Amino acid sequence: MNMSVRLRLSAMMLLQYAIWGAWAPVLWSYLTGDKPAGLGFSGDQAGWIFSMMPLASIVAPFVAGQLADRLFSSERFMGVLHLLGAVSLYVMAKEHTANGVVLWMLIFSIFYAPTLALTNSVAFSHMKDTEKEFGGIRVWGTLGWIIAGWILSYTRNAKLSPAGMCDSLLLAAAMSALLGLLSFSLPHTPPKKEGVNPWAFMDALKLLKNRNFLVFVLVSFVVATELQFYYGPTSSFLKTLPGLNDTNVPMFMTIGQIAEILVMAVLLPALLPKMGIRNTMVVGIIAWPIRYVIFAAGAAIPALKWLVIASLSLHGFCYVFFFTVGFIYADTVAPKDLRASVQGMMSLVVLGAGSFLGSLLTGRVVSMFTNEATKVTNWQNVFLIPVALTILCALVFPALFREKPGAAGTANGIKAG
C-alpha cells in the first residue's frame, strides 16, 4: 500500500470514530441534565435515544450490503451518507424535545450505521496483506475517538460551546461533514455487482448446536446489555464526583480507549497464546463487575474519586479480552464458508440486539433510582444491577465453556484498534 492511500484510509478511520466518540460518551449527561444546560429528560427517554444506534445496526447490513455491493461505489455511497448524517446531527443539536431527539437520532443512525462496515470494506479492498496492514489503519479509529473527547474538553474549557445547542452533536456534525467530503477522495472502490445475502447470518445458527458456542453467544448478549451502563450514564455519574464537571469529563472518558490501545498492542499478543481463548475471555468478563463495584463504591464514598477514574481503564480489558478475543474465537470455530456469516451474527447479537435492549434497560434502571422531585440519582443502586448480571456471567461462562486441550489460541496479526 502506497503512502497516499495509507494516509487517506487512516484519516477515514480517524474521522469515522471521532464522529461516534464526539457524542456517545457524554450525550447522556446533556440529555438528562438540568435545564438550561441540559434537556431534563428522564432515564427512560435517554435510553430510547441511545437505543436508536443499535436498532439501526440491526438493519444496516440490509442497506449497505445491497446498495454498496450492487449499485454504488463504496467511497461515494459513504460520502453521501456522512453528509446526510452531518445534517441530521446539526438539526438534532438544536432539538429540545424528547420525541424530536429520538427521531433525529434514528435518522442519523440509519445514515451512520452502514458506514461502519463500509469503512472496513474500503480499507480491505486496497490492502495487499490485511493481517499486517489493517491493525495499523484501524488504530486511527480509536485515536479519533480519543481526539474527539479532548477537543470537546478544550472547547468547553475555552467557553466556545454555543448556547442552546448540544456542543457534542455539533462537533460530531463537523466531523461527519469533513469525512463526507474526504470520502470522495478515497481510493475508488466499485460495486461488486453481486450483493451480499443479508440473511447469510442465518446459516451460522447451526453452530448453536455446539454448547461452547451457544454459551459464548448467550453470555455475549448479556454482557452487551451491561456495556450500555458504561457507554450511557457514566458521564452523568462522573459529574457527581468532587471536581468533575462538563468541562473535564469528556477528557476523562477517553481513558478507556487509551487503555484499549495499550491492552490490544501489548497485553493481548503476550497473554492470549499462554492463557488460551477461554481464560482470556474469563479475565475480560471479570473486569466488568470489578469496574461496576468500584463505581457503586465511589457513588457512596466520594473520596474514592481517583479510584473511579482509574477504573475507567478497565474498559480496555473488558472490551479487548472478551469481545475482541470472542470474535477471534468465533472465527476459529466457524467453517471457512460460514466465517462471514458467523461474524455477521455476532455483530447482530452484540452491536444490535444486545445493545438495543441494554440501552432500554439502562434507561429504565436510571429512572427507577432517580427521585423525580429532586432529580437526584442513586448511582450506587444503579450500578449494582450490572454488578449482579456481570457476576452471573463470570460464574456461568467458565463453568459451562470448555476449551479443548491445546486450544491456546493465537495472537498473530492482532494489533491495537
* Residue 319, number of CB atoms within 10 A of its CB: 22
Q: Which three cell numbers stand for residue 54?
A: 443499535
For residue 33, pLDDT over 60 is answered with yes
Q: Which three cell numbers stand for residue 401?
A: 465453556
> What are the φ and ψ backbone dihedral angles of 377, each rounded to 5 degrees?
-100, 135
pLDDT per residue over 344-360, tens digit each? 788 888 989 999 999 99
pLDDT per residue over 363-387, tens digit each? 999 999 999 888 899 999 999 999 9
* Dihedral angle sign, alpha carbons of residues 135, 136, 141, 142: positive
List the chain domain ranges.
Answer: 1-198, 199-417
ω into 36 cis (within 30 of 0): yes
Q: For residues 40 and 25, what is the distance between their CA atoms, to the nearest angstrom?
A: 18
> What are the φ and ψ backbone dihedral angles of 370, each rounded to 5 degrees?
-115, 125
Q: For residues 126 and 75, what is the distance between their CA atoms, to the nearest angstrom?
A: 12
Map residue 286 onto helix, strand or coil: helix
User: Who's near 361: CB < 8 A, 6+ residues apart?
Assistant: 47, 225, 228
Q: For residues 117 and 343, what is the distance between their CA atoms, to the nearest angstrom?
A: 12
CA 116 to chain centre: 11
Q: For residues 298 and 313, what is the distance between their CA atoms, to the nearest angstrom?
A: 15
Looking at CATH, the fold of the domain delimited by 1-198 is given as Growth Hormone; Chain: A; (1.20.1250)
**What are the Cα distances from residue 272, in Å, to 258, 293, 326, 412?**
20, 26, 12, 10
Q: For residues 28 and 53, what is the distance between their CA atoms, to the nearest angstrom?
A: 14
The whole-number pLDDT of residue 331 equals 79
Global model pTM greater than 0.75: yes
The whole-number pLDDT of residue 411 equals 39
- Could you tell me if 170 and 93 are in contact, meaning their C-beta atoms sit under 8 angstroms apart? yes
* Dihedral angle sign, alpha carbons of residues 300, 301, 305, 307: negative
pLDDT per residue over 385-405, tens digit each? 999 999 999 999 999 998 664
pLDDT: which is higher, 124 or 34:
34
Nearest Cα neighbor of 330 from 137, 417, 228, 201 is: 201
- Residues forming a β-bridge with 370: 377
The whole-number pLDDT of residue 414 equals 40
Counting residues of the chain whose pLDDT is more than 90, the rounded percentage is 66
- Could you tell me if 50 and 228 are in contact, meaning their C-beta atoms sit under 8 angstroms apart? yes
Same fold, 1-198 and 199-417: yes
Q: For residues 319 and 323, what is the distance between their CA atoms, to the nearest angstrom?
A: 5
User: Who's near 260: CB < 8 A, 6+ residues apart?
Assistant: 142, 315, 316, 319, 320, 416
pLDDT per residue over 285-335, tens digit each? 999 999 999 999 999 999 999 999 999 999 999 999 998 898 888 878 888
- Across 128-150, average pLDDT: 88
Q: For residues 23 and 95, what is the distance between their CA atoms, to the nearest angstrom?
A: 15
pLDDT per residue over 206-249, tens digit each? 888 889 999 999 999 999 999 999 999 999 999 999 999 999 99
- Could you tell me if 218 and 277 are in contact, meaning their C-beta atoms sit under 8 angstroms apart? no
The whole-number pLDDT of residue 417 equals 34
For residue 406, pLDDT over 50 is answered with no
pLDDT per residue over 57-89, tens digit each? 888 766 665 665 566 788 999 999 999 999 999
DSSP assignment of 6-48, as one string?
Answer: HHHHHHHHHHHHHHHHHHTTTHHHHHHSPTTTS----HHHHHH
For residue 251, pLDDT over 50 is answered with yes
User: Please, what is the average pLDDT of the chain?
Assistant: 89
Q: According to CATH, what is the number of the domain 199-417? A: 1.20.1250.20
Residue 416: band (very low, low, confident or very high) from pLDDT cuts 50, 70, 90: very low
Please give the helix or strand (H or E) that residue 78 lies within, else none. helix 74-94
End-to-end CA distance of the chain: 19
Q: Which three cell numbers stand for residue 53?
A: 444506534
Map residue 409 onto helix, strand or coil: coil
Map residue 373 onto helix, strand or coil: coil
pLDDT: which is higher, 374 or 179:
179
- Residues forming a β-bridge with 377: 370
The whole-number pLDDT of residue 405 equals 45
Instruction: Say how many residues make up the chain.
Output: 417
* Dihedral angle sign, alpha carbons of residues 281, 388, 216, 288: negative
